[in-house]
Structure 1
Amino acid sequence: MGKLKAFMEVPRLEAGYRPLHERIHDFGEVEQTLNSRDRMAQASRCMDCGVPFCHWACPLGNKDSEWNDALCKGDWELAYRLLNATNDFPEFTGRICPALCEKACVLNLTDHAPVTNRENEAAITETAWHEDYIKPMTFPRNGKSVAVIGAGPSGLVAANRLNRMGYGVTVFDKNEAAGGLLRYGIPNFKLSKNIIDRRLDILIEEGIRFVYNTVVEASSLPEGFDAYVLATGTPEARDLKNVPGRELKGVHLALELLSQQNRVLSGAEYSKDERVTCKGKDVLVIGGGDTGSDCIGTAHRQGCKSVTQIEIMPRPVEGPDDPKNPWPNYPRVLKTTSSHEEGCTRRWNINTLEFIGKNGKLCGVRVQPIDWQPNPEGGRPLMVEAGDPEVIKCEACFLAMGFLKPQHPDYPDNVFVCGDALNGASLVVRAMASGRDAAHKVDSYLQSV
């Protein structure tokens, strides 16, 4: 604890976002940064609690109090070493993690002003890159090899850990570059792809081999490896296939928009018919989570006319507290993202009835207000009508309702599943923790055979 009374004397200060009128015209990262002095002052607010609930809340078990103390004292390199000991890629989580640690911070309980752990994490890591604290390393080899199927966050962490343990690691991925949803799902305005590329350069120099544009089926794994890690994510998105008009042009899954836009920014070209664009259109986003928010921000940057977001579930409580999920658990409260701030009509308790088209093209979606009532037999509440149907005018609609958890057969003892492929769609930080766990399970297995 660098400064005993800093948590009482130094107010919480966030870096904030770039001006709205500026950021909606490009795909640069929206978050700003504090200067080093202010960042160190923010780190000094950490109380080094006797029971560090931040450590408990983080799926990776990050030791926030330790690296905040080092940062407070100006030892940026030690701060990075402490952070990197539990977090393989803090440059990712420092940008896109919802910061479960901050919600569990004691200062969040007392005055709703937790330590800025996520921003501190990002600042520490950026300094580590700028000061060359992050350099390729060499590791003794043990003669055994592992194939990692999927180059998303869980697969990359598993590969990194196994490589450092001395295994020869080959990563297979169906896409043209590594990153999974980090590259093809999260917009550049939240995570610039050069952040991924610079880390990949290190991993390659350290000996990890990447094989792209290769679909590997779980039933036909590549031969010649001692063990396998399946980190294939959740490839199937929830859809509205049974809703009339789903086939109309203009109705898309969210990733059709997000992944294509990211590819365009990396230099890919599409024909006019292939291009998914919101330019000049009224846009409807179905789904109230982070993916839906990403669609909103992308629609604005493509030059949409308007955006409406609907959600079938009730409006969350305003917060900051959630009576049904109290501290130190993550509160399920209304979340307003940078994309929402850029302009969006938001509605809850809305069910989708029909996609309406003209000449094969979407022109509106018929929806209906609903309510939820307790199920007398228990289980999922019952959906009931709560208003007359109406039509929301739109020429583009994006389905952002999450992903289906994959089902797996029984695998041989040398096959290990991790990340979203194991647990279903969740946070990047949880996928990374799962990849780390899988690496240790692989090591234990190969050490015993």
Structure 2
Amino acid sequence: MGKATGFMEYQRQLPAERPPAARVKDWEEFKQKFSQAAAQKQGARCMECGIPFCHSGLQIGGMVSGCPVNNLIPEWNDLIYKGKWKEAVQRLLKTNNFPEFTGRVCPAPCEGSCTVGLNDPAVTIKANEYQIIEKAFAEGWIKPEPPAVRSGKKVAVVGSGPAGLAAADQLNKLGHQITVYERQDRIGGLLVYGIPNMKLDKTKVLARRLKIMEAEGVEFQTGTEIGTDLALTQLQSEFDAVVLAGGATKARDLDVPGRQAKGVYFAVDYLTRNTRHLLETEPDKAEKTADYISAADKDVIVIGGGDTGTDCVATAIRQGCKSVNQFEIMPQAPLTRKDDNPWPEWPQILKVDYGQEEAIELFGADPRQFLIMTKEIITKTEQGQKVVTAVRTVKINWDKDENGRFVPVEVADSEKIWSADLILIAMGFLGPEAALAESAGLERDQRSNIKAAYGDFKTNLTGVFAAGDMRRGQSLVVNAIDEGRRTAAAVDQYLT
């Protein structure tokens, strides 16, 4: 429970972050560590609340509340308060394969359902998780532990994002021989190309975990797309089971005039190409990888207000953009919880993320524009090709139609033209790409995801399972890890 009176004695404190003006000059992680004494005080704030919701992982109000992997949060908070760091690591790894990832990129729904948060700022659960796992690596406690006995069973995992890696890690620990197939040139999926380096370092943090998994016996094969380079039927014949964890990679497009002009890209392509460039060349050198997209000296418009949109803002700033604006079709969230958003629901309140902080520091204003709809991408013709020059928008309000559904209604005389050289579409994802499902005869649900029930994760093909965003649609890294772990348990039951 931590210290009995800790939540009354100590205030919430977060680890320091590198100042925005300094961190935008490089691609290093911007978060820093607590001192051990500060971390122990934060652990002490975890109270004996009777029935903790922080590790519940419930769906309340259509959103996740508490930790989807059911982290034993009160237990390891108590352990770090008492200085029992090694025991805290053991409790943390009992439920989460990759706390070094979630401790960096998870939005921390656990903190939204923290009981202390009813009256005071919540316990710093995410920061405590980060502290525990980083201390474990620093002390040399995280070492390869190959299974003592192999089962003789082979499992193929398709996709190396958080769901695929979690499934592979769990199944390997159970003694099965695992091969992970990835169509990209690097292992990691969303973790390597979907999340910028300043949030999750690829060569220090991601590579560190992958090296351990390889040492434990997991085999990785890159540059292989199942359904194109290798048929799913071949995997079925060569392996005892197959886990599909290819993600929800079909991006939601923007259907407006001028969409096909040069200078308009999906956010995921922009982020992927930037990270590939960082990993393949020295960042301060002039030469660029062939598909590199630069925001240098450009007016940038990011269409989409979520985490990916924020990552685009931060990336464009580091590339040296001239200006950046982020369009959000929804209204600005309130500063405090509204009455219809009670604890322990996820708090729908305004947050200023790292990308917005950096834009405020450099340009003097929050880049987000709320209740705004893009109507047209304005272009000009250069050397026979249409090139983006501006964006035309209107303000909107959300009103109910005759069926009671909220629909956007344009505000009269609210049209505005925004100068733009680079437009990034960050409007989320519709589901997995269709090619594999169609070629293999996999059933899909109404949302185009691979059809497999939560719990057994079985598809309509014998011995083929589905996990993560490919099964449930776009979601959080922590949800993907949860599904990977649970799918591994279902596969193990099937094999044994």
Query: Which residue number in structure 2 is paired with residue 390 of structure 1?
Result: 416
Query: Which residue number in structure 2 is paired with residue 118 of structure 1?
Result: 126
Query: Which residue number in structure 1 is paired with residue 454 of structure 2?
Result: none
Q: TM-score normalized by structure 1?
A: 0.96
1:43-66 per-residue CA deviation (whole Å, 9 max, x = no partner) reads 111113210111111100001110
Query: Which residue number in structure 2 is paired with residue 153 of structure 1?
Result: 162
Map 1:264-413; keep pairs closer than 5 Å.
264-268=277-281, 274-319=291-336, 321-343=337-359, 344-359=366-381, 360-378=386-404, 380-388=405-413, 389-406=415-432, 407=448, 408=450, 411-413=460-462
Q: Secondary structure at the match of 2:178?
A: strand
Q: Secondary structure at the match of 1:266?
A: helix
1:126-172 per-residue CA deviation (whole Å, 9 max, x = no partner) reads 11001111111121111111100000000000000000111110000
AA aligned opposite 1:264 = H
Unaligned regions of 5+ residues in structure 2, if any? 57-65, 360-365, 433-447, 452-458
Q: Structure 1 390/2 Cα, relative in aligned 2: closer, same or farther at 3 Å?
A: closer
Instruction: Return the alpha-carbon distance in structure 2 between the equivalents of residues 80 and 221 of structure 1.
Output: 40
AA aligned opposite 1:19 = P
Asked if 2 retains the 8 angstrom alpha-carbon contact of 1:233 and 1:419, the reply is yes
Q: Structure 1 364/444 Cα, relative in aligned 2: closer, same or farther at 3 Å?
A: same
Deviation at 1:382? 2.1
Query: Which residue number in structure 2 is paired with residue 215 of structure 1?
Result: 225
Query: Which residue number in structure 1 is paired with residue 474 of structure 2?
Result: 425
Deviation at 1:221? 4.9
Instruction: Return the alpha-carbon distance in structure 2 between the equivalents of residues 53 and 431 of structure 1.
Output: 20
* Cα RMSD after superposing both structures: 1.5
Instruction: Return the alpha-carbon distance in structure 2 between the equivalents of residues 208 and 329 of structure 1.
Output: 38
1:301-345 per-residue CA deviation (whole Å, 9 max, x = no partner) reads 0001111111112222222x1433211111122221011011142
Query: Which residue number in structure 2 is paired with residue 249 of structure 1?
Result: 262
Asked if 2 retains the 8 angstrom alpha-carbon contact of 1:17 and 1:338, the reply is no
Q: Structure 1 52/358 Cα, relative in aligned 2: closer, same or farther at 3 Å?
A: same
Q: Secondary structure at the match of 2:102?
A: helix
Of 203, 206, 209, which residue of structure 2 is paired with 1:199?
Answer: 209
1:222-278 per-residue CA deviation (whole Å, 9 max, x = no partner) reads 2310111000001110011x3111111111100121111111111159758732111
Instruction: Return the alpha-carbon distance in structure 1 between the equivalents of residues 330 and 13 of structure 2.
Output: 33
Instruction: Return the alpha-carbon distance in structure 2 between the equivalents of residues 18 and 387 of structure 1.
Output: 43
Identity of aligned residues (%): 45
Map 1:43-192; keep pairs closer than 5 Å.
43-56=43-56, 57-111=66-120, 113-139=121-147, 140-192=149-201
Asked if 2 retains the 8 angstrom alpha-carbon contact of 1:91 and 1:126, the reply is yes
Instruction: Return the alpha-carbon distance in structure 1 between the equivalents of residues 96 and 276 of structure 2.
Output: 28
Instruction: Return the alpha-carbon distance in structure 1 between the equivalents of residues 322 and 275 of structure 2.
Output: 21
Query: Which residue number in structure 1 is paired with residue 363 of structure 2?
Result: none
Aligned length: 443
Q: Secondary structure at the match of 2:141?
A: coil
Q: Secondary structure at the match of 2:242?
A: strand
Q: TM-score normalized by structure 2?
A: 0.87
Query: Which residue number in structure 2 is paired with residue 32 of structure 1?
Result: 32
Q: Structure 1 285/164 Cα, relative in aligned 2: closer, same or farther at 3 Å?
A: same
Asked if 2 retains the 8 angstrom alpha-carbon contact of 1:128 and 1:134, the reply is yes
1:322-369 per-residue CA deviation (whole Å, 9 max, x = no partner) reads 433211111122221011011142111111111111222111011111
Deviation at 1:77? 0.7
